[in-house]
Homo-oligomer: A and B are copies of this chain.
């Protein structure tokens, strides 16, 4: 792994849950040498990517990130184009929702929205979504570039007992997502978390990201799942529109097929 990549990887250890990290602590988390980590932090600090809390000497993310994020957002205003739809989705479903974007072979969290309706709800505090273990990831595999499948298979990390173990199992999930227009994960990334996801497309006509609803598994019923899927299509259409894309016909057809039968429940 290149030195620069290791340096950048340090930034990934800062989260809202753990926003300030000391040198020794970061070494343990990152599993790297202290001298190396120190130099990397110096480099990041010089660039404004981290700074030291002057009191505790702990490191935290720096102000340069705000600058760059602003430029990114003015270049590709995806976040602002997703937030209203996400809020509406959270409101309609009463569950925690989030949007992710695909960049290369990695799916990045872009925005999240928690509905305060339930006192127990899912929280989303991760930066990237594993392709094989999350609904968003399966969405990317089902509707994104086919090269993603091989990338995903290089590391089928078993997060829980439910996580798929073999490429063949993964292919089955991908096929189901393609057929229904939605991806689903039930405890495959985090136990007790059920998640449904729909793809988002951008101006190139390709898969751009996914919008997802994460629920506490015990609360999910078939009718709730059906309602979530309906709201997911609304959110996906909205965000896709804002990103300058269009829903491909085959996805539209899959959604119609998946959602239609419920209109005529069996006697």
A103 to B42, CA, bound (A): 12
Contact with B along A9-32 (1 / 0, CB 8 A): 101001110011000000000000
A43 to B8, CA, bound (A): 9
Tell whether A246 is near chain B: CB-to-CB under 8 Å: no
Q: Chain B residues near A45: list those with CB within 8 A.
A: 103-104
B68 touches A72 (CB 8 A): no
Tell whether A223 is near chain B: CB-to-CB under 8 Å: no
Q: Chain B residues near A204: list those with CB within 8 A.
A: 54-55
B20 touches A101 (CB 8 A): no
B104 touches A46 (CB 8 A): yes
Question: Which of A59-67, A165-173, A257-265 lies at the interface with chain B?
Answer: A59-67
Tell whether A206 is near chain B: CB-to-CB under 8 Å: yes
Q: Chain B residues near A40: list those with CB within 8 A.
A: 4
A72 to B104, CA, bound (A): 24
Smallest Cβ-Cβ distance to A54: which chain B residue: B204
Contact residues, A43-101 vs B (CB, 8 A) = 43-49, 51, 54-55, 60-76, 78-79, 101
This protein's copies in its complex: 2
B47 touches A5 (CB 8 A): yes
- Chain B nearest CB from A96 CB (Å) reads 16
Tell whether A109 is near chain B: CB-to-CB under 8 Å: yes
Smallest Cβ-Cβ distance to A19: which chain B residue: B75
Contact residues, A203-235 vs B (CB, 8 A) = 204, 206
Tell whether A3 is near chain B: CB-to-CB under 8 Å: yes
**Candidates B6, B54, B64, B108; contact of A64 at CB < 8 Å:** B108
Q: Chain B residues near A47: list those with CB within 8 A.
A: 5, 8-9, 11
**Candidates B2, B8, B67; contact of A127 at CB < 8 Å:** B67
Known contacts A43-B4, A43-B5, A204-B55; A108/B71 CB under 8 A: no
Q: Chain B residues near A75: list those with CB within 8 A.
A: 14, 16, 19-20, 60-61
Smallest Cβ-Cβ distance to A109: which chain B residue: B67
Q: Chain B residues near A138: list those with CB within 8 A.
A: none
**21 A-B residue pairs with CB within 8 Å:** A4-B44, A5-B43, A5-B47, A8-B43, A9-B47, A14-B71, A16-B70, A16-B74, A19-B71, A48-B104, A51-B103, A55-B204, A60-B75, A62-B103, A63-B72, A63-B110, A64-B127, A65-B65, A65-B72, A66-B69, A67-B127
